[in-house]
Every structure is written in structure tokens, then in C-alpha cells.
Structure 1
């Protein structure tokens, strides 16, 4: 089979590899689409990979595929089933997993990092990481649900977004635009967006934001959002950037007693304005990754047409053109189509 393989000493390129043989608890997928995530680009740029990553590696963790072979112990699945794959595999036995916080498991692996990923014609995956894909959901749109949508979904669950009336999303990349759609789908009354890019304002409105402001004028933007929200500011901020500027802006736009949930992970440490956090009674939490239930939730929302992952798609490229997609960014979430 053809696969896009990366190794730090020789870069990235299409190679011929044997078709994987699924273990008893695995299925073999024909990969219909695999999303290109920012973390894939970071690895190719030479940034530090997640613990346990082994090279040479077939990257790609946002996988939509069709089952072509089923292991003896992969009960409940059949050849021909369309699926998507939750990429994170927690240990299931540590104290964190037992508390129901498997997304925080320190021992978890991830398809496309600690095992071979989906930038290939075929991939073998554990059957308990599969989620059924509605047959009428485009594979490319379905693929990005497993990370671009499941990550903010986990953050919004952790932050109690279901009781928020007003919210602000900072950042208009894939996570931010997905978060706007998810907030509107959860019937948050008013959703604001803040972007560093002029083009991000139109993208935020297209995703459903009621108001969008540029971070370049942070003071004016925060004032606009406070007026929009009333009650001294928004109930909830989801920060997809996570640096000092975005956190300061979050506190300016947030009401006293509100919640900031951070999914952005910038390089280096960020100083926290502790006095403002304490005096305003702010709840500040971090959120990482997702759980299988989050993927199931966003698939159901897409099936009910309450979110529109196709609206976030950028380029759709064949395997031989994927190195360009990993080296450059488009205006949306790029997807590799290995069968093209």
C-alpha cells in the first residue's frame, strides 16, 4: 500500500508499505479521508513529538474509513461499515481513567503518533476506538470531527457550557470555528468571537458568531463584547490560543465569577494575573484532548445537521500532494484522500 511516512533524518514522502494485518481486537480500515492537524505540521517542522512517538511514522489521526477486515475479537463490527476513529487510547486502569477522565491519562497513546496513522491507504485500529459514521456524512467532513470538533466539545463539557447564556471563543482556527458551531448547537443564547486575523471575522460570522472583534484593538474589542453580553461580561470564554495576550483579553471580556477554559498550548510558560483571577472569582481550567463520548456526541450533532463540519474544510489532496498540505496552511482544515 502507499503511505505518507515521516522520519526526522529523511523528511516526508510517499513510500510502499505492507498492508497491516489487524490483531484479534482490531479492524482493518480502507482510509477514505484523514484530516491534517496542526500537530502533524508541528512534527514535520521538527518540534518535540508526544511521548512514545516512534519513527519512521505514518502520521494522521483524524481518520474516516470503511472496514475491510475484522479481527476475531472485534465483535459488533462488519466488513463494509463506515466509521471514524477516536485517536486517543488511554490505559483504562490508572486512577485518572477510573475517575472518568481518560482524556488526561498520562499513559495514553495516540494513533498517528505512538502507532501508525491514517495518511495511508489502509490502517489497523482497535475496534473499541471506532464510532459509526452516518452513510450520508461526507468522509472528509466526518474525519475532522474526531479532533477539530471533539477537542472543543470536551472543553465545553468540562466548563459547563450547558448552563451558559453568553460565550466568547478566542481564535478562529479550526478549533475556534468548531467551538462556535458547538456553542450555537447547544443553544447558548449569544456567542462572540475574537480573532487576530481580519479574515477570521467573516469566518466567525459564517460559523454562527453573533459578534466578532479583532484582538489588535484588545481594549475596544473587550468593551464591545461586554456590551454585547451584558451582566459585566460573558459567562464563558474558550481560549484556543492560550498565550498571555489571549488570557488577558479573556479576563477583560469575562463577567465576575465566569469561567475560562483553555485548549491552546503555546510554546513556553505564560504568567497568570493571579490578583485579577482571585478578586474576580474566575474559574480557570485547562482541557486536553477528548473522550470517545465526545466523538459520539459531535457525530450525532452532524447527523442531525446541527453542526456543519464541511464548512471548515480546506484543501482535499491526494497522498502525493500531502507534503505540501503539511508544509503550508489553507483557509480551512485540509484533508488527505488516500484513495484518490
Structure 2
């Protein structure tokens, strides 16, 4: 099979590899589509990979596929089933997993990092990671649900977004735009957006934000958000940037007693304005990754037309174009169609 393999010492190569065999608890998928995530680009840029990553590696963790072989111990799945793959593979037995927080499992692997991923014609994955894909969903749009949407979905669950009347999303990349759609699909009636990119303002409003402000004038932007929300500020901030500027802006835009949930992970440490956080009674939490249940939920929302993943798509590329997709960024989530 054709696959795009990456190693730090030689970069990306289009290679021929044997078609993997499905182990007893696995299925073999023909890859219909695989999204290109920012974390893929980070690895290629030389940033530290997740613990357990081994090279050479076939990247790609946002996978939509069709089952072509089923392991002997797999029940409930058949050849021909259209599926999505939840990429995070928790151990299932540690105290964190038993507590229902499998997305925080320190022993979890990730398809496309600690095992071979979807930048290939075929991939073998554990059957426990599968989520059924509705036939009417475009594979390219469905593929990005497993991370670009599932990650902010987990953050909104952690932040109890259903209790918020107003919300602000900082950042207008894939996670930010997906978060706006998810908030509008849920119980939050009024959603605002903040972006460092001028082009992000129009995109955010197209995604459903009622107000979009530029972070080039952070003080004026925070005033605009407080006026929009009333009650001293928004109830909830979802920060997809996660640096010192975005956290400071979040605190300026948030009402006393509000919640900020952070999914952005900058490379360096960030100074926390602790006195402001404490005096305002702010609940500040981090959110990482997702659970399989989050993928199930966003698939339902997409199937019902309550969110619009095609709106986040960028380029549709062949395998040989993966190096281009890893080196450059388009206006949306690029997807590989092997």
C-alpha cells in the first residue's frame, strides 16, 4: 500500500508498505479520508512528540474509513461498515480510567503517534475505537469530527457549558470555529469570538458568533465583549490559544464567578495573573483530548444538521500532497483522500 511516512532524520517520504493485518481485537480499514491536524505539523516542525512515539511513523489521527477485514475477537462490526476512529487509546484499567476520565490516562496511546496512522491507504485500529459513520456524511467532513470537534466538545462538557447563557471563544482556528458551532448547537444562546487574525472575524461570524472582536486592541475588545454579555462579562470563555495574552483577555471578558476552560497548549510556560483570578472567583480549568463518547455526540449533531463540519474544510489532497499540507496551512482543515 502507499503511505506517507515521517522520520526526523529524513522528513516525509511516500513509500510502499505491506498492508497491515488486523489483530484479533482490531479491524482493517480502507482509509476514505484523514484530516491534517496542527499537531501533525508540530511534529514535522520538530516539536516534542507524545510519549511513546516511535519513528518512522505514518501520521494521521482524524480517520474516516470502511472496514475491509475484522479480527477474530471482534463483535458488532462487519466488512463494509463505514466508521470513524477515536484516536486516543486509554489503558482502561488505571485509577483515572476507572474514575471516568479516560482522556487523561497517562498510559494512553494515540493512533497516528504511538501507532501507525491514517496517511495511508489502509490502517489497522482497535475495534473499541470505532464509531459508526452515518452514510450521508461526507467522509472528509466526518473525519475531522474525531478531533477538531471532539476536543472542544470535551472542553464544553468539562466546563458545564449547558449552564452558561453567554460564551466567548478565543481563537478562530479549527478548534475555535468548531467550538462556536457546538455552543450554538447546545444551550448557549449568545456566543462571541475573539481573534488575532483580521480574516478570522468574518469566519467566526459565519460559524455563528454574534460578535467578533480583534485582539489587536485587547482593552477595547474586552469592553465590547462585556457590553455584549451584560452582567459584568460572559459566563464562559473557551481559550484555544492558551498563552498569557489570551488568558489575560479571558479574565477581562469574564464575569466574576465565571469559567475559563483552556485547550490551547503553547510551547512555553505561561504566567498566571493569580490575584485577578482569585479576587474574581474565576473557575479556571484545562481540558485535553476527548473521550469516545464525545465523538459519538458530535457525530449525532452532524448527522442531525446541527453543526456544519464541511464549513471547516480546507484543501482536499492526495497522499503525495501531504508534504505540502504539513508545510503550509490553508484557510481550513486540510483532508487527505488516499
TM bucket (normalised to shorter chain) is over 0.9
SS at match of 1:74: coil
Alpha-carbon deviations, 1:232-288, whole Å to 9, x = none? 000000000000000000000000000000000001100111100110000000000
- Equivalent in the alignment of 1:169: 169
1:27 match: 27
Secondary structure at 1:236's aligned position in 2? strand
User: Could you tell me how far 1:74 is from its partner in structure 2?
Assistant: 1.0
Counterpart of 2:158?
Answer: 158
Higher alpha-carbon deviation: 187-196 or 175-184? 187-196
Shift of 1:189: 1.3
Task: Name 2:275's counterpart in structure 1.
Answer: 275
Measure the CA separation in 2 of the matches of 1:40 and 1:316. 16
**Over residues 5-47 of structure 1, what are the superposed CA-to-partner deviations in whole Å (9 max), with x where a residue is unaligned?**
0011111011000000000110000000000000000111111
Say yes or no: does 1:210 pair with 2:191: no
Match of 2:99 in 1: 99
Instruction: Report the counterpart of residue 133 of structure 2 in structure 1.
Output: 133
SS at match of 2:306: coil
SS state of the match for residue 320, structure 2? helix
Q: After superposition, what is the alpha-carbon deviation per residue over 1:41-70, rounded to whole angstroms, capped at 9, x for unaligned?
A: 011111111100000000000000000001
Aligned to 1:120: 120
Q: Secondary structure, in 3 states, of the residue corresponding to 2:120?
A: coil
C-alpha distance in 2, partners of 1:93/1:133? Answer: 28
1:71 corresponds to: 71
Measure, in 2, the Cα distance between the counterparts of 1:196 and 1:217.
9
Structure 1 partner of 2:265: 265
Partner of 2:196: 196
- Measured in 2, the distance between the counterparts of 1:278 and 1:325 equals 43
Name the SS for the 2:65 alignment partner: strand
DSSP-derived class of the 2:212 partner: strand
Q: 3-state SS of the aligned residue for 1:93?
A: coil
Say which SS state the counterpart of residue 6 (structure 2) adopts: strand
Q: Secondary structure at the match of 1:103?
A: helix
Instruction: Give the whole-Å Cα distance in 2 for the aligned partners of 1:159 and 1:48.
Output: 28
Provide the rounded CA distance (Å) in 2 between the counterparts of 1:144 and 1:215: 27
Partner residue in 1 for 2:53: 53
Q: CA RMSD in A?
A: 0.4
Q: Unaligned 5+ residue runs, structure 1? A: none
Give the equivalent residue in structure 2 for 1:146. 146
Specify the SS of the correspondent of 1:53. coil
Alignment of 1:233 onto 2:236: no
Structure 2 Cα separation of the partners of residues 203 and 231 of structure 1? 27
In 2, Cα distance between equivalents of 1:141 and 1:280 = 40
Q: Give the Cα–Cα distance (whole angstroms) in 1 for the partners of residues 181 and 67 of structure 2.
A: 30
SS in 1 for 2:40: helix
In structure 1, the partner of 2:298 is 298
Q: Per-residue deviation at 1:187?
A: 2.9
Spell out structure 1 runs of 4+ moving beyond 6 A: none
| Partner in structure 2 of residue 335 of structure 1 | 335
